[in-house]
Structure 1
């Protein structure tokens, strides 16, 4: 079940607790917890509803501007399919986040190594796990198609493999590409793999940018802005003027700045 970034943010904030979809049959089950960009979102109900029974309260709960806007949106695609009301609730942070930050002990490193070996043996294309971890370590924040080409793989199968590593907390998805987690780095270090990143200078201190979407992240990093402290040196108008930075990215930046006790330059002292 796909949801827009703004919709996910509203679910996390508690402002949205239902979504309406046109499906031939339900595509989600009650109790399912979906991993999203904002954390876990749980399906609390799935009910088929006639369009004629939709109300203004339904529209508000779904984050629509009005009942008319809700109905209009549902009529844009697959208007011949029935409508389902899907109950939603924010169920907390993705547990993989804490897993990525935990450094495994010796016994767990052996277990992880054995799991990686099983993946390698099961692959018809041959061993790939350590090479993929090492490549992500070498080229963080690089586009998946570029990494796939370096591995001699097609992009969909490369992404599928990286997702397997992500499930064990070894990698982390960025708005553009991936990076190796502390857990993944510990695996490579334990097995004696050379790590180019080990010789790199320490990253600039500060608070990394939140997830903003690839276009906004590209626009900011092209200007050399990679930390929230640098965002606070800019006015909101300067940020909005960057190609690829839309209202969602500005709202998310403002929220992250506020949580860090910072603000856009023209909001400081307000």
Structure 2
């Protein structure tokens, strides 16, 4: 579920507590969390909305000045249901704090090498090679990095996301870069030649 920066600011300030989306089926789950550039948005209940019963109050809670503006965003009724999504706030993305933890304990290093070993069963050294590639070529499109690695772009992006979950990489407008933690891991990889 995507949010504009202005909407994220409204969620953060508490002014926005609803979202409306025209979907065939929801792309988020009630009680779930959605990562955004500003943090993790907490999703509350999700119900199908009767658009004829939307109110000005609903529109304002979703960040629109008027009900008409909300209706305009939803577009014409094409038979696709409109979902009403409660927003329960936003909290910091724990990966952001993790990225800055550049000092690796023995326990951190052991956990990372075990994770790499588990992931690399079919292609030994693959995940460390992704870190090396991003370290050597920051801000390079995923497609170019994937071609160098000899994998499809979609698979490469999914694999980079795994590294991002560990706080090792950061997504940029174009390509990626290593976080301070990723740099520390890359240095450890060089020392251990993994």
Partner of 1:209: none
**Pairwise CA distance, 1:62:** 1.2
When the two structures are superposed, what TM-score results if normalisation uses the length of structure 1?
0.65
Question: Aligned to 2:176, which of 175, 178, 183?
Answer: 178
Query: Which of these two proteins has the greater Rg computed from alpha carbons?
Result: 1
Counting only pairs closer than 5 Å after superposition, residues 227-246 of structure 1 correspond to structure 2 as none
Q: Could you tell me the TM-score, scaled by structure 2's length?
A: 0.88
Of Structure 1 and Structure 2, the greater strand share is in: 2
Partner of 1:69: 69
Unaligned runs of 5+ in 2: none
RMSD of aligned Cα (Å) = 2.0
Q: Is the 8 A contact 1:43 1:86 kept in 2?
A: yes
Give how far 1:53 is off.
Answer: 0.7
* Counterpart contact for 2:28–2:34, Cα < 8 Å: no
Q: Could you say if the C-alpha distance between residues 146 and 26 of structure 1 is closer, same or farther in structure 2, counting changes exceeding 3 Å?
A: closer
Contact 1:113 1:187 in 2 (8 A): no
Give the drift of 1:129.
Answer: 0.6
Q: Is the 8 A contact 2:168 2:178 kept in 1?
A: yes
Match of 2:167 in 1: 169
Deviation at 1:35, TM superposition (A): 0.9
Structure 1: 5+ residue runs without aligned partners? Answer: 195-270
Corresponding residue for 2:95?
96
1:84 matches 2:57: no
Farther off after superposition, 33-42 or 59-68? 59-68
Alpha-carbon distance change, 32 to 184 in structure 1, aligned in 2, over 3 angstroms:
same
3-state SS of 1:86 partner: strand
Q: How many residues align?
A: 191
Give every structure 1 segment of 4 or more consecutive aligned residues whose post-TM-superposition deviation is greater than 4 Å. none
Q: Distance in 2 between matches of 1:122 and 1:151?
A: 14
